[in-house]
Amino acid sequence: MIDSELRDPVAVTGRLLAIQAQDPRGARLAVRSRLADSVEGPVASAVDEALNDRSLVIGWLNRGTLHLVRTEDYRWLAELTSPRLITSNRTRLGQEGVSAEQADRAVELIRAHLADGPATRTEIKELLESADIPVAGQALVHILFLASLQGHILRGPMKGREQAFVLAHDWLGEQRVPEQEAALAELARRYLAGHGPATDRDLSKWAGIALGQARKGLARIASELTEADGLVDLADRPAPEGEAPTRLLGSFDPILHGWESREWIIPGEEDRAVVTTNGIFRPTLMVEGRISGTWTMPKGVVETAPFESLDPAVAESLDRDAADVARYLAG
């Protein structure tokens, strides 16, 4: 799930289908850790370039969290995962003091503004404030979320150091959306390509869809699957080669979100060291395929916090990877 022969951000994103991206640096590091070992050229700015040339986009997908996806995968994935989120979004808007009428007016103002070109969150906030629409707390986020769920906007190019919002139709162009059962089959196939072997419940949790929908998708591709120990996988998915990886992973790394349980990869008693009480997933150390610590990067220098003493050879390997993280993020 980490080692691969993927050579650029678009290929990595396509393999995983969707990369959690509410932390921009974390999403870029998720790409880095899945590039082929022989690839030294790509740096974090390659993700920005793919956002600018419309190869990649970011939107609220799956579980209602920002995800990085290939442009051609955005519309059908949004159609599958957005409907279940609309009711909770309206509830949250009410809790943030935004009435249904204000929310709908805000969406129309945003659409009109984006017709003139991309705009940052800061610019949209100023627009709504001038119209006396509440934006304090989480109100602005959930207004933007509503506009996304309705299919109007998504995050497109970088504008300075911020990612700008764009009108979805203008940015994506015409996209054919398959019928739901065909889309569920594609979802199951693509999920297993990046996360197999897994269960129907794993797929349901990762995508934020009903368990029945996950089972429908898997049933549609039953002839392509193999099953062992209650787990299904694509029969033609190449088995991982070489040793389990040792490297630094970014915050919210996909390997911590792809399945119903993390017990197979992280010691249960250490879960609290990785996931904070408010749901933030810290950057982690992966040692031989298991999460074995966390790391930070104050003032641009990586500082590791392993759960226990590391073998000198492992520590040296992590030091080399830390140097590559610095190189990657600086580019």
User: How would residue 26 be classed by pLDDT, with cut points 50, 70 and 90?
Assistant: very high
pLDDT averaged over the chain?
A: 93
Residue range 43-62: average pLDDT? 95
User: How would residue 3 be classed by pLDDT, with cut points 50, 70 and 90?
Assistant: low
Kind of pairing between the strands at 284-287 and 290-296: antiparallel
Is a pLDDT exceeding 80 seen at residue 271? no
Alpha-carbon gap, residue 258 to 254, rounded angstroms: 6
Alpha-carbon gap, residue 96 to 116, rounded angstroms: 29
Residue range 40-48: average pLDDT? 84
pLDDT at 41: 66
Is a pLDDT exceeding 90 seen at residue 223? yes
Residue range 156-185: average pLDDT? 94
Residue range 49-75: average pLDDT? 96
Burial class (CB within 10 angstroms; exposed 0-12, middle 13-18, buried 19+) of 111 = middle
Asked if residue 33 lies in contact with residue 39, where contact means CB atoms within 8 angstroms, the answer is no
Pick the range with the lowest mean pLDDT from 47-56, 107-116, 233-242.
233-242
Residues whose CB falls within 8 Å of the CB of residue 62, separated by 6 or more in sequence, listed in order = 18, 77, 81, 206, 207, 208
pLDDT at 37: 67
Residue range 158-187: average pLDDT? 94
User: How would residue 268 be classed by pLDDT, with cut points 50, 70 and 90?
Assistant: confident
Alpha-carbon gap, residue 177 to 114, rounded angstroms: 24
Alpha-carbon gap, residue 307 to 114, rounded angstroms: 47
Tell me: the pLDDT tens digits for 256-266? Answer: 999 999 888 88
Give the start-to-end residue ranges of the domains of the chain.
Answer: 83-150, 247-330
- pTM metric for this prediction: 0.94
User: How would residue 269 be classed by pLDDT, with cut points 50, 70 and 90?
Assistant: low
User: How would residue 197 be classed by pLDDT, with cut points 50, 70 and 90?
Assistant: very high
Is a pLDDT exceeding 80 seen at residue 270? no
CA dist list (Å): 89 to 82, 139, 297: 10, 10, 34
Radius of gyration for the chain, computed over Cα atoms and rounded to the nearest angstrom: 20
